[in-house]
Chains A and B, each alone.
Chain A
């Protein structure tokens, strides 16, 4: 049997911090006079923080200086982080733990492949960091999904071929990234 790698996105797959991202982006958008709905939020899933802000500004047809963009990015992240302080195992989405434990019990390799720059503290707070054999997050890659860099690096860290890697994703960009490595 060939060795398999199971690669998981974080936000919206393992934990629902996607809702916290949405709330933080929505607060910033509203502050800028931009309507930001859950449907708009779908376009942000799996993409970088910087690109997410660009998408929101495009929604409001707002041209902004780099200084303002940097200020808003910090503001959004501080709002988002304020939601993470009280995270615990209860934030893990239903059905995720049985799958992770089944894979570990059957000696399968597990990695995280996420654009989040807060992946490690989130996994620590939710008590599942030890289940992951490798973590590739927003601090490790320079290209956001749908670029496949995050999954490619995760599979490489586990020394498993792309063909034998399975990606669990909740975003269109993430699915497209996996398909590029098919």
Chain B
């Protein structure tokens, strides 16, 4: 499974991708996951 961490990158450093919150996720990232 691909892991996307939502929160503090210092805590979630094991995740493949990390975003502070969902407002930092753009359409191109979601598209890349879909495709």
Interface residues of A (CB under 8 A from B): 1, 4, 6-7, 12-13, 42, 93-96, 98-99, 102-103, 106, 108, 148, 151, 155, 162-163, 165-170, 172, 175-176, 178-179, 181-182
Contacts and interface: CB of A to CB of B under 8 A. Distances in A.
Given A4-B33, A175-B14, A182-B1, 16 more contacts: A12-B7, A13-B6, A93-B22, A94-B21, A95-B22, A95-B24, A99-B22, A99-B30, A103-B34, A166-B4, A169-B4, A175-B3, A175-B15, A178-B3, A179-B1, A182-B3
Contacts of A95: 21-25
A1 B34 CA distance: 9
Contacts of B15: 169, 175, 178
12 contacts: A4-B33, A4-B34, A94-B22, A95-B22, A96-B22, A98-B22, A99-B30, A106-B34, A148-B1, A166-B1, A168-B6, A169-B15
A179 B3 contact: yes
Nearest first, the 6 A-B pairs at minimum CB distance are A95-B22, A95-B23, A178-B3, A178-B1, A181-B1, A170-B7
B6 A170 contact: yes
B11 A42 contact: yes
Contacts of A166: 1-4, 33
A175 B12 contact: yes
Interface of B: 1-7, 11-12, 14-15, 21-25, 27, 30, 33-35
A7 B4 CA distance: 10
A162 B1 contact: yes
B3 A170 contact: no
Given A1-B35, A42-B11, A99-B30, A178 B22 contact: no
Contacts of B3: 166-167, 169, 175, 178-179, 182
Nearest to B7: A170
A175 B3 CA distance: 6
Given A168-B4, A181-B1, A102 B27 contact: yes
Contacts of B21: 93-95
